[in-house]
Amino acid sequence: VMPHHGAPTLFIDERPVPAMAYAAYGPSSEIFADFAAAGVRLFSVMGTPTSHGYNLAVDTWLAPGQYDYSQLDARFRMVLDECPDAWLFPRLYVSAPPWWLAQHPEAVVLYDPGDGRPVPFTQNGRQVPSWSSPAWRAATVEALQELVAHVEAQPYADRVVGYHIASGTTEEWMMWGANDNLWTDYSPDNTAAFRRWLSTRYQTDAALRAAWGDPAVTLATATVPSRKARETSAAGVLRDPATDTPSIDYARYISAMTAETIDLLCGAVKQATGGQRLAGVFYGYLLQLFGQRQQNAAHLALDAVLRSPHVDFLCSPTSYAFRALGSGVSHFMAPLGSVLAHGKLWLDENDIRTSLSPGKLGEWGRQADVAGDIRQQDRELANVLVHGVGQWWFDVGQNRYNDPQLMAHLGKLSAVAARTLEFDRSPADDVALVVDGRGLANINVGDPLMSPLMLHQMAAMARLGAAVGHYDLTDLERLARHRLVVFAGLYDPSAAQRAALERLKGEGRVLVFTHAPGPYDDGRWTPGAMSALAGLGLKIEDRALNARVTLAADPLTAGLDPAYGVEQPTRPVVVG
């Protein structure tokens, strides 16, 4: 991945190529042939170096030192039989086979059902490994590199361009149990890793005791806070560090641990291929995960993943929030401006259901007919192309593209994508929407304010009439060209970030702060600092308020919703 005409671009054999691909859970010679005829040359199939958590590939790690890659080989051959000049990037799910977990009970993920007595978590009837387990990490690196070595020794090796490493809930590096409201991970290995993280953060027992407000806790005895503690916040939206620091720390830790695991495994790919193959993951869903998943899914460490020299690309499904035609918009789940600024390729998983998919009309974007499908695909590709990113069309379980008119249109879109490589694709946004990934650890888990504060700004800002970029707070220094900067939650800026924000003030630039601007300083409760940060006299009052702006009667607002804001009372409130 290298810069080309202003955007991170996929290069193969030193030539820029459009990152337009096809991926499928169920491989099909017929569909591979259809997409090859439409001009697509990138293909992804499912595999695993160990065990697949969703049974989309057979176990390959059969016993210590014993592997079977015959299914992956067959899937590669199926693609190449239909498209000999195809490029391959398999999606490899990492977990652990039952026999390995039986030998390592300390690594089995546990969840707290609410009574403080953790029990094993299972996915599709199988127990799963803790990503923090040193034994699992070492074994998975070995298994992954064994698979890569096998691939690199095959006749098709020169057709493989990279590896998409997946794990966790829905393959997307969301913490085990995140989609099922099951709170993990209470395994012995994860408890030990949490203690190591706390030791790095606090250094001494005295510092930990002061932060946690617990005179008895030590770095050697600290435990993962219970589900009850993690889901309780007496202070409302904004957690009180005097009582909630263990839960705040754990939310930070699981994201840092996940980012560390991603870096390790992508680094293993780089090492095994001499840096000649790409590595990437699903991650960074700061603009999609709300409810308890915002803190529990472990996606708050995007900045760490972006700093990794081993990660070449990031990806997500296109947002599930606004898929309706006419009233909806296309947006990506991560702050794309930050992803591109760090030189990472973004790949959009276009899993929009078509009229050929089973399901209800409107579900996941499903249309009534192929004409509607074409309009959906046009909108999605427009968003992909104007941002200079790539995508894959995705069959989840059946052929959702089996129509001559639809396939012909996808071929036209693929050709358009190739032509755009000739144009300047530099970011042109002069409005920035900024989210504070790290600071979200300080927010009450699952607080309903977060979705309207962040997710529902996406559709409104898409209709702003100006180009809008989305950024993580860690990239404030990159926003000097922007004329309007909207902070969708600015909770825990560091001293360096506060200084960078001061430098953004002036030059006619407008800064918009929503909710509470900077009530924390590295986790410390400092609400008095909000006034200096925002340049306004602000304070926090411990009461609930349904915060809505009501429009006065005016011809310009005729027929519009007369109020803008949140539907439910919020506590505490920020007043000026």
Tokens of 501: 């924000």
| Pick from 277, 379, 258, 386: nearest CA to 330 | 379
Is pLDDT of 503 > 90? yes
**Model confidence pLDDT, tens digit, residues 129-162:** 999 999 999 999 999 999 999 999 999 999 999 9
Residues with Cβ within 8 Å of residue 275, at least 6 apart in sequence: none
DSSP-derived pairing of the beta strands 61-63 and 110-112: unpaired
- Amino acid 234: pLDDT: 86
Q: How many CA atoms lie within 13 A of 107 on its CB side?
A: 23
CB 132 within 8 A of CB 62: no
Q: 431-575: CATH homologous superfamily?
A: Class I glutamine amidotransferase (GATase) domain (3.40.50.880)
> Which amino acid would we find at residue 88?
L
Is pLDDT of 550 > 80? no
CA terminus-to-terminus distance, the chain:
48
Classified as helix, coil or strand, 251 is: helix
Q: For the residues 366-382, what does the mean pLDDT come to?
A: 96
Calpha distance 36→22 (Å, rounded): 9
DSSP-derived pairing of the beta strands 539-541 and 573-575: antiparallel
Which CATH code fits 2-182+253-420? 3.20.20.80
- Amino acid 554: pLDDT: 76
Calpha distance 375→406 (Å, rounded): 10
Calpha distance 306→3 (Å, rounded): 16
| Pick from 7, 72, 9: nearest CA to 44 | 72
Calpha distance 1→315 (Å, rounded): 14
Q: For the residues 52-65, what does the mean pLDDT come to?
A: 96
Is pLDDT of 549 > 90? no
Calpha distance 562→351 (Å, rounded): 35
Domain assignments of the chain as residue spans, ordered by start: 2-182+253-420, 431-575
DSSP-derived pairing of the beta strands 61-63 and 66-67: antiparallel
Calpha distance 484→461 (Å, rounded): 12
List the beta strands (DSSP E) in 106-250: 110-112, 119-120, 122-123, 126-127, 162-166, 183-184
Tokens of 459: 């559709």
- Amino acid 417: pLDDT: 97
DSSP-derived pairing of the beta strands 162-166 and 126-127: unpaired
Average pLDDT, the chain: 95
| Total residue length of the chain | 576
**Residue 29 burial class via C-beta count within 10 angstroms: exposed 0-12, middle 13-18, buried 19 and up:** exposed
| Pick from 7, 26, 25, 29: nearest CA to 16 | 7
Give 468's strand partners.
Answer: 431
**Model confidence pLDDT, tens digit, residues 6-55:** 999 999 999 999 999 999 999 999 999 999 999 999 999 999 999 999 99
Residue 543 pLDDT level (bands cut at 50, 70, 90): very high
Residue 293 is inside which H or E element, if any?
helix 293-296
Integer CA distances (angstroms), 98 to 9, 51, 168, 183, in order: 40, 9, 16, 22
Calpha distance 90→86 (Å, rounded): 12
**Model confidence pLDDT, tens digit, residues 220-261:** 999 999 999 999 998 899 999 999 999 999 999 999 999 999
Least confident window among 198-202, 370-374, 558-562? 558-562
**Model confidence pLDDT, tens digit, residues 451-479:** 988 998 899 899 999 999 999 999 999 99
Is pLDDT of 370 > 90? yes
Residue 378 pLDDT level (bands cut at 50, 70, 90): very high
- Amino acid 125: pLDDT: 94
Is pLDDT of 403 > 90? yes
CA 60, chain centre distance (Å) = 27
Give 174's strand partners.
Answer: 169
Residue 562 pLDDT level (bands cut at 50, 70, 90): low
Residue with tokens 């290069």: 11
State the pTM of this model: 0.96
- Amino acid 407: pLDDT: 97
Classified as helix, coil or strand, 180 is: helix
**Model confidence pLDDT, tens digit, residues 67-92:** 999 999 999 999 999 999 999 999 99
User: What is the strand order of the sheet 162-166 is part of?
Assistant: 46-47, 91-93, 162-166, 278-282, 313-317, 345-350, 390-395, 20-24, 42-44, 87-88
CB 479 within 8 A of CB 274: no
Calpha distance 94→98 (Å, rounded): 13
